[in-house]
Amino acid sequence: MNMSARPSRLNDQRVTMSHGGGGRAMRDLIEEVFTSVFQPESTEDQARLTAETMREPGARLAFTTDSYVVTPVEFPGGDIGKIAVCGTVNDLAVGGARPMWLSAAFIIEEGCDIALLRRIVASMAREAEQAGVHIVTGDTKVVEKGSADQIFITTSGIGIIPPNRKLAAETIRPGDVAIVNGVLGDHGATILAARGDLALHSEIQSDCRGLGHLMEVVCAAVPVRAARDATRGGLASALNEMAEAARVSVCIDESALPIRPEVKGMCEILGLDPLYLANEGTLVLFVAPEHAGAALAAMHSTDAGKDARIIGKATEADIVPVTMNSAFGGRRIVDMLVGEQLPRIC
């Protein structure tokens, strides 16, 4: 039966504990809010996956999972549903995988507005379609009021790594060039302003977006050594993790970093460092120096990479994994984030 043609049985405006009780109220919530939008091929307790690319000799499966808890759940440029899809797609893509399938599990607080749920689910469906992935299975749980912050989402993703494609931080070599695809710190700054705690007003929007198409274009153009999305901990943490895994050091140039003046200004006011602000649509990748021009050209051909630029390079291993040449001619250590700058950003 066509769900859109059936009269709605979900008359509640807010989620109640009965929507998590396993009975008719739960079925109505799942059918009318979730499966009617995601339209999985089966409503069994598991998804059954097939793809021709899985049969290619040498192809491998990639699998990832992540949980998303952001405050507020809706913000300029995105929402928790958009982050849940983009974040998992990006975790697969930066490893060289073509994202294919997602699962989505929802922990919903009693009293959550069902209209909010519908907006979040619609946002997830749009992002999944743009990324070329299918949300094929999921789960819902309802918890008592005060046990969650409206909604938490856990997504898992499966992708396929084509034969002869190997991206790993261990393959980075001294001399390799570091490239970012876009501006830094927009997501962290957006969330900070959206909370309203500091009476800050900003027109900045989150950079939240899927990077699967970008990675496919770049990997088709040049052999990419490694890539990492600069989410929690920002660019600084991503570079430190990659440098330590590769046993190299990385030196970046402050003058090359693409950071909006508004983000710099907010950081100066609050004593934050934009290198540690979270991003949800920004990655850093390394290629051999002879492939840098082709990699940039490939990235510039995509919407997600139109602002791509070289920000530094790998060097022989030193006692300090990551350093930055400052705009004033000095050099500073760029260490791993200690503690947290912003809570609940993704």
Residue 250 predicted with pLDDT over 60: yes
Q: What is the pLDDT of residues 212-233, one digit of tens each?
A: 999 999 999 999 999 999 998 8
Work out the burial of residue 316: count CB atoms within 10 Å of its CB; fewer than 13 is exposed, 13-18 middle, 19 or more buried. Answer: exposed
Q: List where CATH 3.90.650.10 sits in the chain.
A: 169-333
Pseudo-torsion of CA 89, 95, 101, 103, nearest 10°? -70
Q: List where CATH 3.30.1330.10 sits in the chain.
A: 13-161
On whether the 13-161 domain is CATH 3.30.1330.10, my answer is: yes
Among 203-207, 239-243, 261-265, top mean pLDDT goes to 239-243
**Stronger pLDDT, 324 or 44, i.e. the higher one:** 324
Residue 3 has what pLDDT?
Answer: 45
Q: Could you tell me the pTM of the whole model?
A: 0.89
The CATH H-level superfamily of 169-333 is PurM-like C-terminal domain (3.90.650.10)
Q: What is the pLDDT of residues 4-60, one digit of tens each?
A: 455 567 777 888 887 777 778 777 777 878 788 877 776 667 777 777 777 778 889
Q: What is the pLDDT of residues 138-165, one digit of tens each?
A: 999 999 999 988 999 999 999 999 998 9
**pLDDT bracket for residue 288 (50, 70, 90):** very high
